[in-house]
Structure formats: structure tokens, C-alpha cells
Structure 1
């Protein structure tokens, strides 16, 4: 089992460029096809947002301005893609599986679609083995990242959150964040190709992190059925922030990939009270494979 088709929602931000580099590294590991998708704002979606009292001419001007800005951004993103592809001479442009199958290297493609980014990215992700998404921008409230949460909640696929700086390696030392939840079980299942390939696997668990469900010894036994030997190491949060303790334990292990379930508690509760998922999304400096 391996990842053959990766989706990268491509933006023109610095985090988007880092995610492009990370996604390419993942594609090289799995000899996969990387499809870059840019979603343009559809000017027709602007009209319903216009306030009352605006004339038809004002709404048309607003739509025209949106169309210009969207087109300029799409051109910048396409230029970024073209420069990146030209810089890496081993990449092959391909848009169909037959062309990709004949290629000896990694294949890559680009597509622009118009509409609501969160809807299109979540829907298109269902046709890929994994989505790679940029890390939230520094200072950005992660709860406002509609596209990221749409992929997590609505795609049915694992999501790899790329760090702000492309890592030197990915998946050689994998930390498994286990809390007994259905979400963490889904993350382990999605990460099995990585776990089989890893040089070392460590299960991270904590009484403060555990939910109702099997304990860490249970998932350790499950991995043994798959021929994967994993070390089990409890972690203790240094403060009340469990997410910080989890990331600290992953760093102590020298992990270059962590897999975990997302939002074992509701997103609303984490928005109000904070939570492990939110902390990891905002602060992780390593690639994180999440499932919901």
C-alpha cells in the first residue's frame, strides 16, 4: 500500500511555497503524482455579500474588481508553479495516469478552478490518497482556516499539514499520537505506509490525552499484527497544555513525522477552550498527518 496521488491546494503565500517543496518530497518518496490546485474566487459569489442600498452599477464594479484581483492572483500562483517545475528538472508534467505510468520520475500537474475554496478543495481531495496543505500563516487564527478544516472534516482523506520550513527528511522517525479515539485510529490506519517505511516508530500517550477507548498497549499490539514494532513512551505535559507536551515528546524522539487524530473534542469546544489539535496546528514545526 502506498500513496499514488497527492493533492496540494496551492496559494501564493510563503507557507504555500514551503508546502509545495514538502509535497514534492513526499511525491518523490512514494513515486506519486502531485496535482496542484488553485481555487479562484468566483465573482458571482460576491454579489450576495453586497449590502443593501448598493446600486446595480456598484455591485457590477465590485464583481469586476474581484475578477481582476482573482485573475492576478491566479497568474502569480501559476508563475510560482512554472518556476518550481523548471527548477526541478526531474519533474514530468502529466495530467493522466497513462502518461504518469510511462514516466521514470515524479509527475506533476496544475489546475485552476473557480468557486468557494473550502468546498472545492474538500470535494476534490476525495479523489486523492492524501492532501498536503500549507501550515497556517504565522499569527493567523487557525480556527478561521476554512479550507483546512473543510479538508479535515469533509474529504474523508488523510491530510498532511506541511511545516513552515520544508523538513530535511520525512517519515524516517514517526511519532504516533494515541488517545484511543476513532480519530486517532483513522490516523494510524492512514499512516500505515509511513509506519512500514519508518526506521523507528514511537507511540506517545498520556493520561491527560487519553479518551474513552483502547489504551496505548492496544495500538502497539495492533501495529505488531502489521509487522511494525513500536516503542511506547508516555509523556507528561510540563504545563496544562497537552498539545505542547505532545509536540515536546515528538521533538525529544527526533520525529520527522507525527500522525494524530484531529478534533476528538468538537471544533467549537477547541475554539473556545483550546485543545490539542488547535495547538498542534498552530505550533508544529514538523509534518503532521491528521485524520478526522
Structure 2
């Protein structure tokens, strides 16, 4: 049984989609896996409740027609981008349903509905989901989908970097603070950790929660025949996230795994936090679990 067999990647036309596709192809080739790209096409009928009072039936119908045209135009653009990706890379394109051909393969599917629901449901039956970096222009839906998959899929989520990487998973940092979230991320990252050239466990004494400490993580990894060292890092100007990313850069990592939102999401979005800092500032591939 393969470690990674099915990789989900939602595409909604955001500028960072190319980097996400490139990240997905790296992992599809690494694990001989299938990359299933999906685009969720919004239902034009959802516009009607937003139209408000005082509009005639004809006006609401025109708004729905305009929304439908825009939705179709976007879907066509996303499909064209996927086809360009497949042509450029030469990846084998097949149907979205298993069984898949040997080696790396890819497929594209358009689904009707609400993006955060449809992607989350598909993610529950995927080994991982790769989401384009959430600062993609003014596309709020990219971040909404990321959080929906993080909180509701029960599967690891990979946030692709802004720029297409040439490799990922060679040098990996494990961000550890003893929480269940960091344990879930560690478990989700095992397929990559087992293949990595170097692994480092990073922890900040000031951010450690009640639970196992960093040295115990290296003992756990040794049980999986994964050698790793453990290094503490300090916050920078009181910012744990900044200290973490600095330590990641010093290690020369091309991938990091970490738990997401060990504090509430609302608190982190309002006040800031390690998860938010990494989502906004990381320039490498990041695996998160909640």
C-alpha cells in the first residue's frame, strides 16, 4: 500500500494556482500518486438571496444570468490553465476515478456547489489537499477553502508557496509545541519525513504547551527509522512565528509541518498568532493539521 495515492488540489482561478499545481506534481511524482484537480462552479441561484429587496424579477434574473456567465468564464479559464499545465509538464491525464495508471497522473473535474463544502467533502477521501497560497490577490475564497479543509476534513493540508518550487521534502522542519495539533501534523508528515535527507525538530521553550517535548519527538521518529535533531528557537521581538520561520530558513528547509490554531482561529485572526504568521509569511511548502 502506498503512503500517498490521491492528492486533491482545488483551483479557483487565483494567481498562485500555478505554484500549487507545480507543488502537486512534485509530490505526485515522488509517490507515484494521482493529482486530482477540481474547480467548484458556483450556482447562479445563490445570487438571488443577495439581491435584496426592491429589485424586480427581471432584474434578479439578469443578475443570475450575469453570475452564470461569469462562473462559466472562470471555469473555462481554470480548465485552460490545467490543460496548459498538463501539456507543459507531460503528466499523464486520466479520469478522476480510480484505478489510476502507474506512476504520476492527473485529472480535472468541474463540480457544482459551494467551494468550501465540495472541496472539504472531497478532501475527506484524499490523502492530502494542496491549497494555493491564501494571499492570492483579492480572492478571499482561497483562504476560506483552506480553513474549511483544515477544520472539517480530518486530513492534512499543504499550503503551496507563492512561487513554484523546484523540490520539496528534502529538508524538513517539524514545528513542535506538544499539542494534539502538532502531533496530527507530525503523523501526516511521516511519508515525507521517511524520505527526507535531513529532519529537524524545532521548539520554543516559551511556546511549549503541556505535552511531550521536542526530544521525545526525535525518539518517536527513531522508532520509524527517521533520524532527526532537535533545536530550540527564540521568538523575535516577542513573535514566535517570526522566530520559527527564521529557524526554518537557517536549516535550509524546503518544507515544514506544524499544527494549526492551537488557540482559537478567531483569536489568531484578530490578535495574530503563529499559524497566521506562517500562513502570511512562509515562502516554502507547509503541511498543517488541526
- TM-score, normalised to structure 1, is 0.95
* Matched residue, 1:14: 15
How far the C-alpha of 1:238 sits from its partner, in A, is 2.1
Structure 1 residues 104 and 143: alpha-carbon distance in aligned structure 2, compared to 1, 3 A threshold: closer
* Matched residue, 2:182: 184
Question: Which segment is superposed worse, 147-156 or 79-88?
Answer: 79-88
SS of the residue aligned with 1:213?
A: coil
How far the C-alpha of 1:209 sits from its partner, in A, is 2.1
Q: 2: distance between equivalents of 1:142 and 1:173?
A: 31
Once the two structures are superposed, the pairs formed by residues 202-281 of structure 1 within 5 Å of their partners are: 202-281=200-279
Equivalent of residue 130 in structure 1, options 128, 131, 135: 128
How far the C-alpha of 1:176 sits from its partner, in A, is 0.1
2:64 equivalent to 1:66: no
How far the C-alpha of 1:133 sits from its partner, in A, is 0.5
SS of the residue aligned with 1:160?
A: strand
* Matched residue, 2:147: 149
Structure 1 residues 143 and 15: alpha-carbon distance in aligned structure 2, compared to 1, 3 A threshold: closer
Structure 1 residues 139 and 274: alpha-carbon distance in aligned structure 2, compared to 1, 3 A threshold: farther
Q: 1: distance between equivalents of 2:102 and 2:152?
A: 34
Over residues 63-105 of structure 1, what are the superposed CA-to-partner deviations in whole Å (9 max), with x where a residue is unaligned? 111000000000000011111111122423233323x2xx343
* Matched residue, 1:38: 39
Contact 1:92–1:108 under 8 Å retained in 2:
yes
2:117 equivalent to 1:119: yes
SS of the residue aligned with 1:97?
A: coil
SS of the residue aligned with 1:51?
A: coil
- TM-score, normalised to structure 2, is 0.95
Q: 1: distance between equivalents of 2:8 and 2:94?
A: 15
* Matched residue, 1:85: 86
In structure 1, stretches of 5+ residues that fail to align are none
Q: 2: distance between equivalents of 1:258 and 1:215?
A: 18
Q: 2: distance between equivalents of 1:142 and 1:161?
A: 15
How far the C-alpha of 1:147 sits from its partner, in A, is 0.8
Contact 2:176–2:202 under 8 Å retained in 1:
yes
2:165 equivalent to 1:164: no
Aligned residues: 289
Q: 1: distance between equivalents of 2:71 and 2:80?
A: 14
Contact 1:143–1:271 under 8 Å retained in 2:
no
Structure 1 residues 245 and 16: alpha-carbon distance in aligned structure 2, compared to 1, 3 A threshold: same
SS of the residue aligned with 2:16?
A: helix
Over residues 185-236 of structure 1, what are the superposed CA-to-partner deviations in whole Å (9 max), with x where a residue is unaligned? 0000011111111111000000222122211122222112111121000001
Contact 2:135–2:143 under 8 Å retained in 1:
no
